Structure formats: C-alpha cells, structure tokens
Structure 1
C-alpha cells in the first residue's frame, strides 16, 4: 500500500514538472535517409530466348548448374531447317560441279572456242592469201569477197564465244557463291536450334519442359552471375532527386532477421515506372551475406545527409512544418535535416527554450 502511494506521488510530481509534454530541444547526431523496398537479384541477370520456333527436345542443364559462355543450355528440334540445309548442300555441290566438273558448261564453250580459233586461223590465212592475189589482179572478185566474209564471220564468232565464256564463267561463279551463302545460312539456322549461355554464371530458372512448343516470344531460361548480386530498390518519385551515386545504403533482409548490411548506390535508372510512380535504383554490398538467392526481399535506407551535434526536436512538436508552441506562444522556426522521428532546428529557438506538444 505504501509502494502504491509512492508511485502516485511520483506521477503527480512528474506531471507537474512536465505539463502538456513540456520539453527542451536536444543536441544529437542526425541522419536523414530515404526509405526503399529491396529485392536481391544476381548481377547480369537475363532471360534467354530462342531465335527459332520448334519443340524443346531436352534441357541440357539443370537449375542451379554453373555455365560458361557458349555452353549449350537447351536443344530445340525442327526438321525443316535440316531439310533446308541438305537442299542447300545439294545445290552447292551442283553449282560447284557445273563450274569445276569434267562435263561443265565452260568446258563445252572452251571446246567451241578452240574450234573457232582453228577456223579463224584458217579463214585468216585464206583471206590474206586471196587478198595478195587480188592485189596482183589474180583471181575473181567473188573469191576475194567470199574469203573476206568467211574471215570476218570467223573473227566475229570467236569474239562472241570468248564473251560467252567470260559471262558464263561469272554467272557460274556467282551461282557457286550464292549456293555457298545459302548453305552457310542454312547451317547457321540449324545451329540456332541450340540455345547457349551468353555469360559465365548460373542457371536460375528453366521455363519449359521437353516436348513443349518453343517460340521466340517466351523466355526459356534465366541466367545470371553466380557470385555477384545487385540490390534493387524502388524509390518514390518525390525522393529520387535526392539520390546520387556512391551514397551509403543501410539494408535489412527478411531472411536475415535483424542483421544489418551496408552498401553504396551504383546505378540510377532515369525512366519512371508509371505503374507505381517509382524509379529503380541499384546498389552493391560492401560485404554481402554468404548466401543469397534471387528475389530475397527487405528494406533499405539510403543516407542522404548526416550531421553531428545539431539542435533537434521531435517531429510531433512541429506545427505546420514551421512553428512550435512555446511559453510565449507560437514561434516560427527554420528546420533543416530530418528523419522519421526528429527534425533539425536551424533558427527560432535555442536549447533552453521550452516547447509544448500541439493542442
């Protein structure tokens, strides 16, 4: 009974000494920060797509496997590219045979040219012989004209065959090159049915099972770094202008209870997400937890500013963000740094001024 009376007396004395929440400003270290939600993601995380359609034949890796650049991940099957490659190969062989083979078109033209050369030489000899005779007034005009005509026809025919040979050779060369290109394209298309890793990392997800249809619109796998992780934060648009690279970040992850981790802002994405009116900001750990998984969530505070030994009052005592209630009535103050609990007082009152909670 005596103890109960003592407690009542203490409460009465305390109430009289601190009427209406009467306090004085206090000097303390003050840190201002911006709050953000957190999601952990592997560095260089990307979704792998097929560039051809078909049916998934097999997954060549399992979720959690380590992969290197160029390692096959999935095999897709489609008979059409194989048939196209075989047809392109046959076309290439035919074009090469037409150009280089024993019974080629060019060989036939070369034979015609050789015969034309012999005829040209013979007609040339006959013509110039007849011309000499004609100059000596020997022989008839008809014989001379006939030899001259045969000579001109032979010369013209030889030029035509040589031109035909050159144009046919270029045409066949072009067909060989086109066939080679078509064959290489078919081989490349055929190779596209094997999806490969673009980075050194880990397979975090496989989205298709063997036998399912694969197209170019749906992701097949998710691959990212196995050892480096990024802290993804969503910052409200009203705070984004206060965020800068290299600012310190205090992180708390749900998976690690009350453990505190630190990091620094590494990247600020300039485009706003219109759905939730936020900007994405990335940070990296100073020292990451030993075990991390994609999608781990938590919260973070990005340190905007920090001051030591500044005059502060609780935010609950602030009226209209610019006044406090004192023994002399409402007094205008200038505020500076602030956090969720306290606000810095730059001018208007001193540490000896009593302030009261608002009515």
Structure 2
C-alpha cells in the first residue's frame, strides 16, 4: 500500500529536478530569429520607401527625400604594401663580457663605466709582484745558461769537450728561454685590454679584489654595428628572404627606421616553430642593445592596387562586402551599392580585388545612414 504512493512521489520529484533548458533555449533562439527577420524587413522597407520617393519625384517634380551629408575618397590605383608584425630586440654585433685569463688581485682599474676606449687600451691590471720575482729568477738563470752554452759551443767548435756537455748546456738554455717566455706571456695576461674599440658598459670587480680564471671583468659594447633580431612564425617561410623590406618601430623612444632583412634563418626552432631573422640598424645615439622593437616585415606588395579606407566597407545580411559610390542623376547626387571582393588590409586601408574600376568616389563618412539610391551632399 505504501509503495502505491511512494512510487508516484519519486517520479514527480525526478521530473521536477530535470533542467529547464529547453524552454529558455527555445525562447532565446526565437528572439534571435525575430530580430533577424525584422532587420531584413527593415532593409526591404527602406528600399521600397526609396523607390516610392523616386516615383513621387518623377510625377510631381518635387522630392521629400532627406539629403544626407557624406564625405568621399577617390579609389585611385596606387602602390599598396602589407606587413606582418613581430617583436624583436636590438643586438650589438660586438657585445662581449671580458674575463680574467689568470688568477690575481686587482691592482688598478684604468677605465670607468660609460668611457669610450680604443682597441688595445688597458682596462684592468692584476698584481704581478710574485710573477715579477719569478721572471727575475728565470732571467738570471737564463743569462747563466746562455753563458755556459756559448762557452761550450766555442769549445765544441774547437773539438774540445764532450758532446754530452755541449747538448746539456744547449738544453738548459732552451728550457730557461721557454720558461722566461711563458712567464712574460702570463704577465701580459694579467693586463686586460680592449679587443676592439667601444664603450665600457660596466666594470665588475673592485680594486684589491681577488679574481680567478674565467671571472667576468667588464662588458665592452660597440654601437657602430647594431642589428634587430626577431623570431618569425614558420608559416612565413618562403615569403621572406634576404633583402625583404622591413619597417622597424621603437615604441619606447618614438622612433622608426626603414631597413631590410640581412639574415633569414635556415632552421626552425622545434619549441616555438619559428625561424630567426635579423635586420641591420643605422648608428644612432638612442639605439642600445636589448631595446624592444616592433618589426614589420613586408609579405605582400602591389604597385597598382585599388585601395580604400577600411571603414568605408560594410556587410549585408549574407556577410557580403559592399561600398556606396556616388552616382549622378540629373541635378542630384545619389549613391549606388557596389559589392566588392577584398584582399589584404593594413593600417586602416584595404585592397579591393574586384568590384571597383579605380575611378569611383567611395563614401567613407556617413555611409551607415544611407541606403541604395539615397540623395547625398558631398562635404569637403
């Protein structure tokens, strides 16, 4: 008896818990359909009203049409370029970190940060007191060995003395000569010199500090040869090459320069699917390494393209592109809707592939308020 009441109750609870999406979803879809239908009807009514106004004008010689103010541009053929943009940064072709080649204590720092230096100029010197003593001892030994060798050689030339004594004297002289040369070379390495001319960007150790082999000493930068490096997507492989025109913008300093690609990589990075590209930069006081830039690379060019402002292009309910062009009808100026096919767009301009002959006056301002056949007045 209890089951008789419990089962219907469970079934009722189950039905009540079901999501109510069907009614809400259908309601939204119905509203969207109504909106689309009304838009289509509005467009048709506008065109019919325009036709009736034209008929009234033809019969009475008068017109109650509204005159719309518009601005136009002439669609003249001209060169058009399209660029794609990637981010890059400035690199110096000569930007190195000088390191110590021998161990030692910093004795003197001969430059300051920001100072210009010439190739071969001293940057830093290490203490060489111990090395100087070793060189002095080696020099004394070398002088003695040279004296003994010369004496043994004279005797040997006179067939006096043994061959062993002569070769021992010669070997001692050569050995000490090599040691002296090694010590002098080591002393020379205790002086850090600029391998090329440039600017000292930073000096790392301080006077009296111990430095070991490989320790960074100073950064030397030559700003005469700068380049911009960037990573470009693999989809542009085959579209760019050495000599491709580029436009480089530096947002931080408000500067832009024109250049061309000087290097296009032959390897795709498997991690980000890009290739390396580089463009040479002119020498400039405000361009420094690691400055971020926008690299605009030309991937399309047409010397005789019909180009119009992008804002002049509209779409109908079928997503077909069209523009309004001026049409003279007696003393009146009206507009005609012309469907077009477009190509690339860049910086507010779009290339028209078909639909325009190249001498039309295209409405660019006020186009949203007019329809086919509207009477317009062109403002300068």
Please tell me the TM-score bracket, short chain as reference: 0.5 to 0.7
2:148 corresponding residue in structure 1: 98
Helix, strand or coil: the match of 2:248? strand
1:71 and 2:121 correspond: yes
1:201 corresponding residue in structure 2: 198
2:262 corresponding residue in structure 1: 266
Asked which structure has the greater CA Rg, the reply is 1
2:299 corresponds, among 276, 301, 304, to 304
Q: 2:87, 2:248 → 1: CA distance?
A: 9
Q: 1:335, 1:304 → 2: CA distance?
A: 17
Aligned pairs for 1:1-359 within 5 A: 29-77=79-127, 81-100=131-150, 162=159, 165-257=162-254, 259-270=255-266, 278-285=274-281, 288-310=283-305, 325-326=319-320, 350-351=355-356
Q: For the structure 1 residues 289 and 96, does the alpha-carbon distance in structure 2 shift closer, same or farther, using more than 3 Å as the test?
A: closer
2:38 corresponding residue in structure 1: none
Q: Decide whether the 8 Å contact of 2:223 with 2:283 is kept in 1.
A: no
TM-score by length of 2: 0.56
Q: 1:242, 1:201 → 2: CA distance?
A: 37
TM-score by length of 1: 0.59
The alignment of Structure 1 onto Structure 2 pairs a total of residues equal to 265
Helix, strand or coil: the match of 1:202? strand
Q: Decide whether the 8 Å contact of 1:272 with 1:278 is kept in 2.
A: yes
Show structure 2 runs of 5+ residues with no match: 1-41, 48-74, 322-340, 358-380
Shift of 1:91: 2.7
Q: Decide whether the 8 Å contact of 1:106 with 1:165 is kept in 2.
A: no
2:50 corresponding residue in structure 1: none
Higher helix proportion: 1
Helix, strand or coil: the match of 1:97? helix
Q: For the structure 1 residues 326 and 42, does the alpha-carbon distance in structure 2 shift closer, same or farther, using more than 3 Å as the test?
A: closer
Q: Decide whether the 8 Å contact of 2:223 with 2:288 is kept in 1.
A: no
Q: For the structure 1 residues 169 and 75, does the alpha-carbon distance in structure 2 shift closer, same or farther, using more than 3 Å as the test?
A: same
Q: For the structure 1 residues 98 and 336, does the alpha-carbon distance in structure 2 shift closer, same or farther, using more than 3 Å as the test?
A: farther
